[in-house]
């Protein structure tokens, strides 16, 4: 085991990803059929989608716009003229016997994605290209039957294939890349990024080499549908390749599949016939020419992207890079934060949102849009803390009730009598009682056992059920304990 | 018979509106005629019951004074157009049982104009052929043949059944499609008028695709005026076809003036082929004289890449076809031959469902697109297409129209060329260039050869100048005085 | 260019067209003849000529993102040789 680990230090893993991202649009790329997920089989299929004789594709303008928007979000070159090609192959879920795609002239050229590494450094991953293409249908295989069943609902939905440069060097980087890409797509509203519904899938190209050597032969792991699986597939595949080479074997360039049950990759059984796709320009479509004016319009309509937003969170709100990063990772969280933070203390808001608020969301399996706590009511809760009506400690209890009942924090505080005790006389009385009850500990403290201070605070809090203003408690305790 | 023999669309319209006969009577006459002419095998499917129903509706409309432009006009549709509820086969075993749940744009327009479909006409399988002999349903037969000839003659192709139906009075007009000459060549062989419009004039939506960048629908009629009438009711921009062109549609009939004064006629020297029969050459000469008589001007022109049009066509058309025909896989519609695996199902279905010529073209197309050959063949052919296009563009700076024979020869006997693909392909030598350049072209009957078989004149026009072509064709129609003297030997 | 039987088998497999022995031989012959005839194109100098895909020079029409089609399950399935419970049926496919 150790020797293997040592060996791995000599090996560099080279990873490139091809991400298929389903475009958010009402209708399909070349037909006016709905793209809604999860319909009964073949109920969202037009004659075009099923490639009936004489049917012709007509392109969806919004899908083009989405591709351009994504390209701009990836700081990529938008190609003023691109071409739709036919990629010819036979498969059960490909009704026309060809997929309309873009081969030599994609709509988007080179771009980049910036990764924030956990150690605070930055990695730039190059984007080679982005092109538009049609999704295929779905074949369902029933192991008890000699048949497969074809559902074409998904056939013809617009996909963006986003191809990265082979710039990643670890499964961790690949994971960060996918997360970041997903974040960007969600910010742009061009893909919902739901990998479990298949609206984002990745083909993973993996090769290994000893440091300083030439690139090795790569294998492509097709259609991996979660970030975790991508990482597991890379782990397995890179180890497999290293082992093969160390055994003196050659890596065969091939297409493999990831088996999430056994965490391993295996060669595809159906050999994809020599990959002769016979691409040629689709004669049913004309070259796609874009105008600079239109691209500029789209560019102006772009939302603030996660990298920019993170910078702004640091400078405008004085948050740490780390907290800013966490907040902007998810557009909804960042939006929510900005709704709450108006006229409030940014650090306090960030702490509550990323701390207790997210804690409850996760615990209850809710998300920011369907929870009972709105930005408005969370803001009210934070105001109660800021105005010293309740203590931070009590706020967690209040928040929990808010999640359960949807009540406003004020109501809860009133109802349960959770208001903070900020009356000096009252706290002094309680402090006196505590000190009287613990005369021995007081003496120990006075003899130098200063860490007992916390004990006294705890006792006061216990007595007040956490409602005593902690700052006042501190002040009064300090004053009284240091007397004489 | 007396009612419909030689009847034109415009005469029929007059007769209907003047109530000399009803649409129902008209349709019924054609039904009888078609039944008596089964020998010609011009129709694959009949639509008689529905046609008679439609005729009754037309009669009501006429009675109420609401007649549409082609109200009650019985026509025939090449069986390549998808017609809702009417079997559409493309003359292939592959689509033997296919009933489209939709109507092609062109046939929908024709329905909207009040015309009545008598049935679906025979063609070469998937429009691939120049003789109608590749049809799964057997060849359609040319009503013309030399006198005392025992052999049957081909009507040309691929729109052979449509040409036969028009020529033999089995409809008033027909629609065909033209990818490399498939309207003009059979029109020429059968002594009728056939027009291929500018690429983009007619929507291709709902027409079984052969070669998408070349296919165009067009009318086949007894005379030029009818071609104008039918064309007007077929064309128009269609947002469902991305290659359809949004261009104003003139009333083509109004452009027919039978006047060619001061028009410049380009005579391309490259169309004077060794392969052409002396009769074709002589008639062409005669045509040049008619131009002079009519006050037109003769301009000798050169279209230097003409001879390369056909071989490059036989790269581009099969390439596109190989991809267009991939959808016939036995899964969603059409013929299916079971197999133990999906691969076998495909292989069996396509091996059995397609005929020889279709297989041949799919395989050529697959080859020229495959890795290692793409540049040498497909890209090369596309470059030559550019040169052909440029040839025409240059010439049209100096001339209004190009005048050529439609075919190098008249019709030939069935089976004469079936075993020699290249000599069969030569039929399209003079028609293919217009497809490569997307130009409108018309063929009109211009005379007969020494065997008494019809020959055609072809006029190739500037893009979207169908009006100009129809006018010129109308002049020649008058001076050629083509006489339909064929015997009705096929009648039962 | 003449092509051999092996090439014909390769392209017929790409095109998913089953050919028996006789057919394959015939086609090899025919295709060779046709391709030899096509080879006259090599005489044309096309070095500075751009390829032409189609003759239409206008811009690609782009439709609005509207749902203009409704469910047509029956019409989609009615011509199919084999369906079950709304699915098309094919021999079992392995990945």
What are the structural domains of chain A? 11-296 (no CATH), 304-416 (no CATH), 424-481 (1.10.10.410)
Q: How far away is chain B from the Cα of C69, in angstroms, using its nearest Cα?
A: 13
Instruction: Quote the pLDDT of residue A197.
Output: 86
Q: Hey, which residues of B are catalytic here?
A: 78, 158, 182
- Its domain, for residue B192, covers 9-262+400-491
CB within 8 Å: C33 and B387? no
Closest-CA residue of chain B to C33: B422
Most confident residue range from A248-252, A296-300, A320-324: A296-300
CB within 8 Å: A148 and C90? yes
Q: Is residue C28 part of a domain?
A: yes
Instruction: Quote the pLDDT of residue A392.
Output: 78
A29 touching B (Cβ < 8 Å): no
Which residues of B fall within a CB distance of 8 Å from A155? none
pLDDT band, very low/low/confident/very high, at A484 (cuts 50, 70, 90): low
Chain position carrying tokens 């030599």: A104
Chain position carrying tokens 């009210």: A380
CB within 8 Å: B246 and C33? no
Q: Is A227 left (phi over 0), alpha (psi -120 to 50) or beta?
A: alpha
The pTM for the full model equals: 0.92
CA atoms within 13 A on the CB side of A68: 26
Which residues of C fall within a CB distance of 8 Å from B341? 91-92
Residues 52-81 of C with CB under 8 A from B: 52-56, 58, 60-61, 63, 72, 75-76, 78-81
Q: How far away is chain B from the Cα of A91, in angstroms, using its nearest Cα?
A: 8
CB within 8 Å: A270 and C69? no
Mutate to test the interface with A, among B107, B179, B326 (most CBs of A within 10 A): B326
Domain count, chain B: 1
CB within 8 Å: C91 and B342? yes
Q: Is residue B128 part of a domain?
A: yes
CB within 8 Å: B327 and A283? no
Instruction: Quote the pLDDT of residue C95.
Output: 66
Closest-CA residue of chain C to B364: C31
Residues 138-157 of A with CB under 8 A from C: 139-141, 145-152
CB within 8 Å: C17 and B344? no
Closest-CA residue of chain B to A100: B323
Which residues of C fall within a CB distance of 8 Å from A147? 89-92
Which residues of C fall within a CB distance of 8 Å from A64? 62
Chains that touch C (3 or more CB pairs under 8 A): A, B
Q: Is residue C10 part of a domain?
A: yes
3-state secondary structure chain B: CCCCCCCCHHHHHHHHHCCCCCHHHHHHHHHHHHHHCHHHCCEEEECHHHHHHHHHHHHHHHHCCCCCCCCCCEEEEECCECECCECCCCCCHHHCCCCCCCCCHHHHHHHHCCCEEEEEECCCHHHCCCCCCCCCCCCCCCCCCCCCCCCCECCCCCCHHHHHHHHCCCCCEEEEEECCCCCHHHHHHHCCEEEECCCCCCCCCCECCCCCCCCEEEEEECCHHHHHHHHHCCCCCCCCCCCCCCCCCCCHHHHCCCCCCCCEEEEEHHHCCCCCCHHHHHHHHHHHHHHHHCCCEEEEECCCCHHHHHHHHHHHHHHHHHHHHHHCCCCCCCCCCCCCCHHHHHHHHHHHHCCHHHHHHHHHHHHHHCCCCHHHHHHHHHHHHHHHHHHHHHHCCCCCEEEEECCCCCCCECCCCCCCHHHHHHHHCCCHHHHHHCCCEEEEEEEECCCCCEEEEEEEECCCCHHHHHHHHHHHHHHHCCCCCCCCCCCC
Q: Is residue B295 part of a domain?
A: no
Which residues of C fall within a CB distance of 8 Å from B317? none
The pLDDT tens digits of the residues spanning B428-442 come to 999 999 999 999 999
CB within 8 Å: C52 and B389? yes
Asked whether the predicted pLDDT for residue A2 surpasses 70, the reply is no
Instruction: Give me A57's structure tokens.
Output: 């594709």
Asked whether the predicted pLDDT for residue A99 surpasses 50, the reply is yes
B372 touching C (Cβ < 8 Å): no
pLDDT band, very low/low/confident/very high, at A13 (cuts 50, 70, 90): very high
Q: How far away is chain B from the Cα of C85, in angstroms, using its nearest Cα?
A: 14
Q: Is residue C88 part of a domain?
A: no
Query: Cα dihedral sign for B91, B93, B95, B96?
Result: positive
Q: CATH number for the domain including B60? A: 3.90.1300.10
CB within 8 Å: B347 and C61? no
Could you tell me if B225 and B193 are in contact, meaning their C-beta atoms sit under 8 angstroms apart?
no
Of the candidates B243, B333, B342, the beta carbon closest to that of A286 is on B243
Q: How far away is chain C from the Cα of A196, in angstroms, using its nearest Cα?
A: 19
CB within 8 Å: B332 and A95? yes
Chains that touch A (3 or more CB pairs under 8 A): B, C
Distances in Å between the Cα of A445 and the Cα atoms of A378, A427, A440 are 40, 20, 9
CB within 8 Å: C64 and A61? yes
Asked whether the predicted pLDDT for residue A451 surpasses 90, the reply is no
User: In chain B, which stretches have pLDDT less than 70?
Assistant: 1-2
Of the candidates C14, C89, C94, the beta carbon closest to that of A147 is on C89
Alpha helix segments (H runs only) across A330-464? 331-341, 346-352, 358-364, 375-386, 392-405, 409-416, 424-437, 439-446, 452-463
How distant is the alpha carbon of residue A394 from its chain centre? 32
Q: Is residue B63 part of a domain?
A: yes
Q: Is residue B120 part of a domain?
A: yes
Could you tell me if A298 and A71 are in contact, meaning their C-beta atoms sit under 8 angstroms apart?
no
Domain count, chain C: 1
C86 touching B (Cβ < 8 Å): no
Q: Is residue C24 part of a domain?
A: yes
CB within 8 Å: C72 and A34? no
Whole-complex ipTM = 0.97
Closest-CA residue of chain C to A50: C76
Closest-CA residue of chain B to C63: B239
Chains B–C, number of C-beta pairs less than 8 Å apart:
160
Q: Is residue C68 part of a domain?
A: no
Q: Is residue B311 part of a domain?
A: no
Which residues of C fall within a CB distance of 8 Å from B99? 78-79
Report the range of poorest mean pLDDT among A378-387, A474-483, B333-342.
Answer: A474-483
Which residues of C fall within a CB distance of 8 Å from A285? 60
- How confident is the model over A420-437, as a mean pLDDT? 87
A401 touching B (Cβ < 8 Å): no
Q: CATH number for the domain including C21? A: 1.10.20
A296 touching B (Cβ < 8 Å): no
Asked whether the predicted pLDDT for residue A417 surpasses 80, the reply is no
CB within 8 Å: A286 and C56? yes
Residue closest to B283 by CA, chosen among B479, B484, B457: B457
Q: Is residue B51 part of a domain?
A: yes
Chains A–C, number of C-beta pairs less than 8 Å apart:
122
Of the candidates B81, B102, B371, the beta carbon closest to that of A47 is on B102
C50 touching B (Cβ < 8 Å): yes
B207 touching A (Cβ < 8 Å): yes
Instruction: Quote the pLDDT of residue A7.
Output: 52
The pLDDT tens digits of the residues spanning B8-21 come to 999 999 999 999 99
Closest-CA residue of chain A to C86: A41
Higher pLDDT, A406 or A53: A53
Q: Is residue B328 part of a domain?
A: no
User: In chain C, which stretches have pLDDT less than 50?
Assistant: none
CB within 8 Å: A54 and B378? no
Q: Is residue B256 part of a domain?
A: yes
Q: Is residue C35 part of a domain?
A: yes
pLDDT band, very low/low/confident/very high, at A5 (cuts 50, 70, 90): very low
pLDDT band, very low/low/confident/very high, at A269 (cuts 50, 70, 90): low
The pLDDT tens digits of the residues spanning A195-219 come to 888 899 999 999 999 998 999 999 9
CB within 8 Å: C80 and B384? no
- Its domain, for residue C34, covers 5-42
pLDDT band, very low/low/confident/very high, at A272 (cuts 50, 70, 90): low
Asked whether the predicted pLDDT for residue A135 surpasses 50, the reply is yes
């Amino acid at each position: 085991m150790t020797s293997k680990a040592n060996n791995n230090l000599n090996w560099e893993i080279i990873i490139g990803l091809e991400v298929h991202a389903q475009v958010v649009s009402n209708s399909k790329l070349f037909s006016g059929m709905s793209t809604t997920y999860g319909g009964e089989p073949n109920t969202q299929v037009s004659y075009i989608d099923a490639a009936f004789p004489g049917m012709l594709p007509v392109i969806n303008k919004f899908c083009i716009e989405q591709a351009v928007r994504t390209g701009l979000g990836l700081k990529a070159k938008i190609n003023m003229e691109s071409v739709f090609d036919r990629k010819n192959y036979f498969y059960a879920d490909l009704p026309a016997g060809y997929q309309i795609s873009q081969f030599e002239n994609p709509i988007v050229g080179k771009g980049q994605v910036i990764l924030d590494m956990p150690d605070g450094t930055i990695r730039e991953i190059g984007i080679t290209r982005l092109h538009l293409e049609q999704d295929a249908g779905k074949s369902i295989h029933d192991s008890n039957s000699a048949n497969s069943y074809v559902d074409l609902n998904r056939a013809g939905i617009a996909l963006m294939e986003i191809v990265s440069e082979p710039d990643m060097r670890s499964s961790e980087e690949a994971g960060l890349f996918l997360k970041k890409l997903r974040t960007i797509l969600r910010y742009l509203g061009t893909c919902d990024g739901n990998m479990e519904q298949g609206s984002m899938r990745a083909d993973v190209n993996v090769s290994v080499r000893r440091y300083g050597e030439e690139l090795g032969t790569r294998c492509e792991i097709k259609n991996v549908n979660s970030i975790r699986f991508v990482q597991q597939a890379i782990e397995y595949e890179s180890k497999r390749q290293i082992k093969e080479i160390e055994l003196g074997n050659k890596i065969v360039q091939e297409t493999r599949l990831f088996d999430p049950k056994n965490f391993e990759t295996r060669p595809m059984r159906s050999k994809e016939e020599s990959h002769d796709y016979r691409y040629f320009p689709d004669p049913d479509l004309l070259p796609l020419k874009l105008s600079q004016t239109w691209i500029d319009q789209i560019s102006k309509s772009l939302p603030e992207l996660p990298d920019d937003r993170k910078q702004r969170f640091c400078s405008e709100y004085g948050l740490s890079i780390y907290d800013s990063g966490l907040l902007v990772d998810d557009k909804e969280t960042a939006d929510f934060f900005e709704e709450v933070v108006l006229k409030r203390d940014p650090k306090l808001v960030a702490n509550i949102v990323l701390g207790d608020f997210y804690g409850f969301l996760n615990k209850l399996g809710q998300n920011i849009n369907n929870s009972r706590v709105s930005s408005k009511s969370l803001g009210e809760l934070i105001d109660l803390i800021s105005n010293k009506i309740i203590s931070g400690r009590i706020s967690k209890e209040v928040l929990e009730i808010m999640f359960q009942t949807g009540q406003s924090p004020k109501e809860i505080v009133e109802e349960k009598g959770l208001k903070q005790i900020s009356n000096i006389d009252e706290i002094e009385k309680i402090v006196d009682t505590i000190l009287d009850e613990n005369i021995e500990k007081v003496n120990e403290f006075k003899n130098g056992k200063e860490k007992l201070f916390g004990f006294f605070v705890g006792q006061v809090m216990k007595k007040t059920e956490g409602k005593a203003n902690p700052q006042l408690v501190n002040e009064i305790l300090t004053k009284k304990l240091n007397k004489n | 018979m007396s009612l419909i023999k030689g009847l034109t669309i415009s005469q029929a319209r007059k007769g209907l509106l003047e109530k000399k006969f009803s649409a129902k009577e008209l349709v019924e006459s054609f039904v009888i005629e078609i039944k008596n002419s089964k020998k010609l095998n011009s129709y694959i499917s009949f639509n008689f019951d529905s046609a008679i129903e439609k005729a009754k509706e037309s009669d009501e409309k006429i009675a109420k004074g609401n007649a549409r432009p082609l109200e009650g006009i019985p026509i025939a549709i090449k069986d390549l157009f998808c017609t809702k509820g009417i079997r559409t086969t493309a003359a292939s075993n592959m689509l033997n049982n296919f009933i489209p749940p939709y109507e092609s744009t062109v046939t929908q327009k024709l329905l909207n104009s009040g015309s009545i479909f008598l049935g679906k006409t025979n063609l070469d399988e998937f429009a691939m052929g120049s003789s109608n002999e590749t049809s799964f349903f057997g060849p359609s037969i040319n009503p013309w043949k030399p006198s005392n000839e025992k052999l049957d003659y081909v009507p040309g192709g691929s729109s052979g059944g449509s040409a036969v139906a028009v020529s033999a009075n089995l409809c008033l007009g027909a629609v065909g499609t033209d990818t490399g000459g498939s309207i003009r060549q059979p029109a020429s062989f059968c002594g009728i008028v056939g027009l291929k419009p500018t690429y983009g004039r007619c929507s291709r939506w709902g027409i079984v695709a052969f070669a998408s960048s070349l296919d165009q629908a067009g009318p086949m009629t007894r005379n030029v005026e009818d071609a104008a009438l039918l064309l007007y009711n077929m064309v128009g921009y269609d947002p469902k076809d991305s290659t359809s062109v949004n261009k104003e549609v003139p009333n083509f009939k109004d452009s027919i003036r039978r006047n060619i004064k001061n028009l410049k006629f380009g005579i391309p020297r490259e169309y004077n082929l060794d392969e052409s029969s002396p009769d074709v050459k002589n008639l062409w000469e005669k045509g040049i004289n008619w131009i002079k008589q009519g006050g037109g001007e003769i301009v000798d022109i050169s279209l230097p890449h003409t001879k390369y049009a056909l071989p490059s066509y036989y790269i581009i058309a099969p390439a596109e076809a190989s991809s267009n025909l991939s959808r016939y896989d036995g899964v969603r519609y059409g013929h299916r031959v079971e197999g133990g695996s999906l691969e076998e199902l495909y292989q069996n279905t396509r091996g059995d469902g397609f005929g020889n010529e279709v297989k041949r073209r799919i395989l050529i197309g697959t080859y020229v697109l495959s890795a290692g050959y793409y540049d040498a063949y497909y890209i090369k052919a596309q470059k030559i297409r550019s040169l052909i296009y440029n040839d025409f563009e240059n010439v049209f700076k100096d001339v209004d129209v190009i005048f050529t024979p439609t075919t190098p020869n008249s019709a030939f006997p069935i089976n004469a060329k079936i075993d020699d693909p290249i000599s069969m392909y030569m039929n399209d030598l003079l028609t293919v260039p217009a497809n490569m350049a997307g130009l409108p072209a018309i063929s009109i009957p211009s005379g007969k050869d020494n065997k008494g078989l019809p020959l055609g004149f072809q006029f190739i026009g500037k893009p979207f100048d169908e009006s100009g072509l129809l006018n010129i064709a109308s002049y020649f129609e008058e001076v050629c005085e083509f006489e339909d003297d064929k015997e009705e030997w096929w009648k039962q | 260019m003449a092509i051999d039987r092996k090439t014909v088998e390769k392209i017929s497999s790409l095109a998913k067209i089953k050919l028996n022995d006789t057919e394959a031989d015939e086609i090899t012959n025919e295709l060779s003849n046709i391709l030899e005839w096509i080879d006259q194109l090599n005489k044309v100098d096309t070095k500075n000529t751009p390829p032409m895909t189609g003759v239409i020079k206008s811009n690609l029409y782009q439709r609005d993102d509207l749902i203009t089609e409704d469910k047509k399950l029956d019409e989609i399935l009615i011509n199919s040789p084999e369906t079950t419970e709304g699915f098309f049926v094919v021999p079992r496919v392995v990945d």
